[in-house]
Structure 1
Amino acid sequence: MLLTLAWGSLFFPGLFALCTWGLRRARPGWTSFDCVMISTRLVSSVQAVFATGSGIIIIRSCSDVATDRHWLAREYVWFLVPYMIYDSYAMYLCEWYRTKEQDRRHSLTTFRNFLSQNRLMITHHAVILFVLVPVAQSLRGELGDFFVGCIFTAELSTPFVSLGRILIQLKQQHTLLYKVNGFLTLTTFLFCRILLFPFMYWSYGQQQGLSLFQVPFNIPFYCNVANAFLIAPQLYWFSLLCKKAARIFDTPQPKKDG
């Protein structure tokens, strides 16, 4: 545990510092905010690839979805803890550079604006650290790692979300890449963050001889409540993505002269 925590504490801030340094050298015309923001997105994408890969390995190794265990489930949770702490600071650092470039003084107001504008994401990080980590590591009893692996795969959409933010920062919203990435963002988010929950219910039902609709009535009530709390913010974020996608594809094309 301690070794994994130490590796995570070194890896994510170190990768962020390396990316920021590299971008400043490669793109001297970019602002500090550009470099920091893009570095933050790159590190998030790397973490998402690690999490998704770990989740796939865990899922494929668990033939019994209710009881099978895999060492990677426990270890990656510990690797994730430093990332959540680092990412919270990185988001604040982005806000600090953004306000600095707007000639605003760094003060308590900046911190308040950061909390106000990132309420849902900060809450998301806090729930992972103070609720999901204890549940995954000790409070779930004999429940197997299949479901932990499924939750890890929810990160598959993160690289596409990050690329979209980077393209916006670089003012590339008009490009085909931006539209294709928007479609991939919606698709991966739908399958890995929304349909993931019915998939977990279906997998359990297949093993227990239950239909998908019978599963909620044959598992502990707190499992349904926990899943409801997990999927609620995903549905909200998905609705925002859909609205954004509608604006992208409904934008009228400029008329050609003649």
Structure 2
Amino acid sequence: MWAAAMLNAAACGAVLFPGLFCVTRKLLKSTMTHWSDGDVVCVSERLVSAIHASMCTAAGVTVMTSCSDVITDSHWLANWFVLFGAPYMAHDIYAMYLSHFHDQRGRGHAGAAPGGHSLRTVRAFLLKEWMLVVHHLALLLVFLPITLFFRRGLGDFFIGCLFTTEFSTPFVSLGKILIQLGLDNTMLHRINGVVVLLSFFSCRILIFPFMYWMYGRQFGIPLHRVAFHLPLRCNVGNLVILAPQAYWFVLLLKKAKRLYLRQRRGRGEGNKDGPKTD
């Protein structure tokens, strides 16, 4: 019974996410006729990513709010969504590669000519997006088996917390889509940028001390002592997950700074070139 339910979850994910990607590509290609194949693939990838992240966040909140005991309480969504979302991780690697391929071909790069899928294009993609690829593969090859087989049904609350790290992804995707639509200089894009930073910091950085605090609250341990009461593998695992999140957050801050300085220079030049008044 359990095995059948898990296989159904994986099958649903294997149909839903690639299916959404194909349908979105067809719709965009027929409606946005001035877009290139790269534009269509990029936006389709981002839309599917936003849908998966929204579902993942909703599942995480459901699991978290259903577990009063952070260790022993369980919820069926914890295991179910891990398998449901696993096909998305594999699909997204392919979608990212396809987006990279069309982007390079659109720029006329060598090795990306029409029909130019090759080991060279795959290698270029892996070199550029290696961290995201490793992140996706780690979720498939490490996080999935640990969740399903090695935690002995304990800690569903913390699995729910990890699901909620996807909360910032729809806003990241929206930012990319706004740029694609030529709305990168609008107030909406600037507001979305602030939301990206706040949501990313809250749900991908602060979520880790929050999990330690919740564990300490249940067992009467001060926050600064919680790490010493946990097995080394738990602390190491959290650090491994946290490290790329901190790196990506630094990149987001640098990007936000560049955009701010560029817009500030643009306003300054506009004032200089503006009409003089007596």
Short-chain TM bin: over 0.9
Q: Is the 8 A contact 1:96 1:110 kept in 2?
A: yes
Asked whether the 8 Å contact 2:74–2:153 carries over to 1, the reply is no
Give 1:142 shift: 4.4
Equivalent-residue separation in structure 1 for 2:32 and 2:192 (angstroms): 23
> Is the contact between residue 164 and residue 178 of structure 1 (CA under 8 Å) also seen in structure 2?
yes
Which structure is larger by alpha-carbon Rg, 1 or 2?
2
**Normalised by the size of structure 2, how large is the TM-score?**
0.90
Amino acid at match of 1:194: I
Match of 1:188 among 193, 199, 215: 199
Deviation at 1:85, TM superposition (A): 0.6
Whole-angstrom CA distance in 1 between matches of 2:176 and 2:131: 17
Gaps of 5+ in 1: none
**Within the alignment, does 1:223 sit opposite 2:228 as a pair?**
no
Counterpart amino acid of residue 255 in structure 1: G
CA distance in 2, matches of 1:200, 1:179: 31
Matched to 1:36, the amino acid is: V
- Residue 65 of structure 2, aligned match among 44, 60, 74: 60
Count, aligned residues: 258
1:128 to 139, 145, 157: 139
Paired residues of 1:69 and 1:145 also in contact (CA < 8 A): yes
The whole-number CA distance in structure 1 between the counterparts of 2:191 and 2:261 is 15
Q: Aligned-pair distance for 1:193?
A: 0.1
- Asked whether 1:255 is paired with 2:270, we answer yes
**RMSD value, Cα:** 1.2
Percentage identity across aligned positions? 46
Unmatched tracts of structure 2, length 5 or more:
1-5
Partner deviation per Cα, 1:117-139 (whole Å, 9 max, x = no partner): 00000000111011000111111
* Aligned partner of 2:19 among 14, 20, 25: 14
The alignment status of 1:178 with 2:193, answered yes or no, reads: no
Match of 2:3 in 1: none
| Alpha-carbon distance between aligned partners in 2 of 1:250 and 1:211, rounded to the nearest angstrom | 42
- The Cα of 1:60 is off from its aligned counterpart by 0.3
Q: Distance in 2 between matches of 1:100 and 1:255?
A: 35
1 CA distance for matches of 2:86 and 2:119? 27
TM-score, normalisation: structure 1: 0.97
